[in-house]
Amino acid sequence: AQHRIARDMNIKCCDESTENLVICNAGLVTGFKREELENILNEITKKYTIIMPPGKSYCFLKFDDKIVAEKVYQKFHGRNVDGQVTPIYLTFSQSTPDIEEEVTTTEFPNGLELIEEFITIEEESRLLNSINWDNNCDVSSELKHRNVKHFGYEFRYDINTVDPDQPIAPIPDDYKFLLDLFQKNNCGNHNYDQLTINRYLPGQGIPPHIDTHSAFEDSILSLSIGSECVMDFRKDNKKVSLHLPARSLLIMSGESRYSWTHGICPRQSDVIKIDNGITVKERGIRTSFTFRKVRRGDCECKFYEYCNSKRNEQMIDEVLAPGLELS
């Protein structure tokens, strides 16, 4: 990992302590979340900068002085932390990357498509009425920033994947008309077998992430109902903020599925472009239906640096700490 960091970022890792740390095997691409990192760092200090380069399986921490960096190193090097399946490995570094200024563009990432008015108002209210958030029979969880339900396979947020050998209640018949609509409209891979329903109250969101390559096939669909929102897509230093109207279907495939993060900033309102300017829209309760096809076998995408597939030797080298081997 240290060679990779030197090559990609021109940053040298070192044995002597400095005010900079690198977490060599946890970053955005391994599903590590900024909030999880903040939770652990807050136990030691409130003054730090986290730099999580998009598409990388490592991240950087910058502290005011090296005493604090040493404390963080001693407490967390080789330890298990929430959100990571293997212990995290830290090293000091001579510097951290400059925080690149984000460039906002309006050009859609390749492979991203938005179909407005994908369902009718009647279908939207039928879908909304079909969900019972008090029903604990479904596989549901109350996450810090939203409520979720799963069908077909449970998405495990602790390990960012599904167990393809442990199916749960299938996608309900009430939603089968959507599968037919997907087929009719050529919405990517047709045999979607996993559904996650998210409910976001105003002020809630979802951290930026790329759906784990090894968990799901190409083409991920997300139907927005109940309220609109703005979803942010990021890659390198590019950011595209996309307005998702209620009843629209978002199709993420190819580059947009495999190498751009998507996320919803937790806020009460969004700034939206309209014909003659911009307007601020208060958020309502947004429910999304995300359909995915569980992958069996290796991911064969060409976006190697974002791919956690075992076939990807480069990635194995980067994610695992030196000395560890895959069982």
- 206 near ligand AKG, rule: CB under 6 A: yes
Nearer to ligand AKG, 228 or 305 (CB): 228
- 288 near ligand AKG, rule: CB under 6 A: yes
Question: Sign of dihedral through CA atoms 8, 12, 14, 19?
Answer: negative
- 212 near ligand AKG, rule: CB under 6 A: no
Nearer to ligand AKG, 93 or 261 (CB): 261
Over the Cα atoms of the chain, what is R_g? 21
Nearer to ligand AKG, 25 or 290 (CB): 290
Closest CA to 232 of 247, 243, 223: 243
Q: How many CB atoms lie within 10 A of CB 141?
A: 13
- 194 near ligand AKG, rule: CB under 6 A: no
Given the structure tokens 């409209």, which residue do they identify? 185
- 161 near ligand AKG, rule: CB under 6 A: no
Residue 71: φ, ψ to 5°: -60, -45
Nearer to ligand AKG, 70 or 138 (CB): 138
Q: How many CB atoms lie within 10 A of CB 207?
A: 17
Nearer to ligand AKG, 5 or 162 (CB): 162
Residue 221: φ, ψ to 5°: -115, 140
Question: Sign of dihedral through CA atoms 93, 98, 99, 100?
Answer: negative
Nearer to ligand AKG, 51 or 131 (CB): 131
Contacts of 273-276 with C-beta under 8 Å, sequence gap 24+, read 273/243
- 215 near ligand AKG, rule: CB under 6 A: no
Given the structure tokens 């947020």, which residue do they identify? 157
Nearer to ligand AKG, 51 or 220 (CB): 220
- 25 near ligand AKG, rule: CB under 6 A: no
Q: Which of 198, 212, 219, 253 is close enough to bind ligand AKG by CB under 6 A? A: 198
Interacting residues of 276 by C-beta distance below 8 A, sequence separation 6+:
none
Given the structure tokens 């807050």, which residue do they identify? 42
Give least dist CB 65 to ligand AKG, A: 38
Q: Which of 196, 212, 248, 253 is close enough to bind ligand AKG by CB under 6 A? A: 196
With H, G, I as helix, E, B as strand and everything else as coil, classify residue 39.
Answer: helix
Structure tokens at 55: 């598409």
- 219 near ligand AKG, rule: CB under 6 A: no
- 222 near ligand AKG, rule: CB under 6 A: yes
**229-235 vs 277-282, strand pairing mode:** unpaired
- 290 near ligand AKG, rule: CB under 6 A: yes
Nearer to ligand AKG, 196 or 256 (CB): 196
User: Footprint of ligand AKG on residues 94-113 (CB under 6 A)?
Assistant: none
With H, G, I as helix, E, B as strand and everything else as coil, classify residue 264.
Answer: strand
Give least dist CB 205 to ligand AKG, A: 9
**Cβ-closest residue to ligand AKG?**
288
- 140 near ligand AKG, rule: CB under 6 A: no
With H, G, I as helix, E, B as strand and everything else as coil, classify residue 72.
Answer: helix
- What separation in angstroms does the CA of 132 have from each of 138, 227, 301? 9, 18, 37
Give least dist CB 196 to ligand AKG, A: 5
Binding site for ligand AKG (CB under 6 A): 196, 198, 206, 222, 262, 288, 290
